[in-house]
Amino acid sequence: MFNKNRLRIAMQNKGRLSQDSIQLLIQCGIKINLKKQQLISFSENMPIDVMRVRDDDIPGLVMDKVVDLGIVGENVLQEEKLKRQSRLEKCFYTILQHLDFGICRLSLSIPYRHKYIGIQSFKNSCIATSYPFLLRKYFNDQGINFKFFILNGSVEVAPGVGLSNAICDLISTGATLEENRLQEVEVIHSSRACLISQFGGYVNNEKIILINKLITRIKGVIKARG
């Protein structure tokens, strides 16, 4: 059972952020016995519980006050924010600390063989993405009409098989782009993992003290890692 007096932290279960997130907590001195397939794990030495879920669920769990803190990429956070704003749903959160992992960018990429002549090249083009809200905001701000469809996975293969003219996807090294003969032409969002919390005041003073202690330790860990 989840105990509301203990600090609840949501982090990614399986994926690019999961090991770094666990490592961060361990380096902060939090002893936790994480078991595979287990949604919630309990710290033995601090009043902290860890909930491991898909990264897409983390911003919502924080905004809906199911958990106190979350570790998630800014890309996922911003996408959820724009989605909620478009539906006039509540969307309160604070970024407590930017972290030193999960560094990537959400970029527009087109096939090598196409010459890029600037953002106008995307006019009326069809773009595959897992980030429709960030993509739409980017082009709306620029006043450019475009079409898109959502692919949650294998986005990079879409142009090669004739499904789209371009992609809007996360990039870190660029190796996947190269494999698919794509060139990155515009960065629409730079991202890294961050620690987020619910918006505004905590009723429980002990939790505020614990959160502040955790932030201090996280800062120390990041500094020590250089």
Spatial distance between the Cα atoms of 200 and 51, rounded to a whole number of angstroms = 22
Distance of closest approach, residue 201 Cβ to ligand ATP, in angstroms: 28
* Residue among 57, 91, 83 nearest 71 (CA): 57
Spatial distance between the Cα atoms of 26 and 186, rounded to a whole number of angstroms = 37
In this structure, what token pair is assigned to residue 104?
Answer: 């990537």
Out of 7, 48, 104, 158, name the contact with ligand ATP by CB under 6 A. Answer: 104
In this structure, what token pair is assigned to residue 105?
Answer: 């960018």
| Contact (CB, 8 A) for 139 and 146 | yes
Out of 21, 25, 55, 195, name the contact with ligand ATP by CB under 6 A. Answer: 55
Only one of the segments 50-58, 88-96, 108-116, 199-207 lies at the binding site for Zn ion (rule: CB under 5 A); that segment is: 50-58
Q: Is position 99 an interface residue for ligand ATP (rule: CB under 6 A)?
A: no
Out of 33, 172, 190, 216, name the contact with ligand ATP by CB under 6 A. Answer: 172
Q: Is position 79 an interface residue for Zn ion (rule: CB under 5 A)?
A: no
In this structure, what token pair is assigned to residue 7?
Answer: 């600090």
Sign (positive/negative) of CA torsion 112, 115, 117, 123? negative
Which of the residues 182 through 221 are near ligand ATP (CB under 6 A)? Answer: 191
Q: Is position 98 an interface residue for ligand ATP (rule: CB under 6 A)?
A: no
Spatial distance between the Cα atoms of 98 and 157, rounded to a whole number of angstroms = 31
The site partner of 46 among ligand ATP, Zn ion, none (C-beta below 5 to 8 Å per kind) is none
Q: Which residues bind ligand ATP (CB under 6 A)?
A: 12, 14-17, 54-56, 73, 75-76, 102, 104, 170-172, 191
Q: Which residues bind Zn ion (CB under 5 A)?
A: 55-56
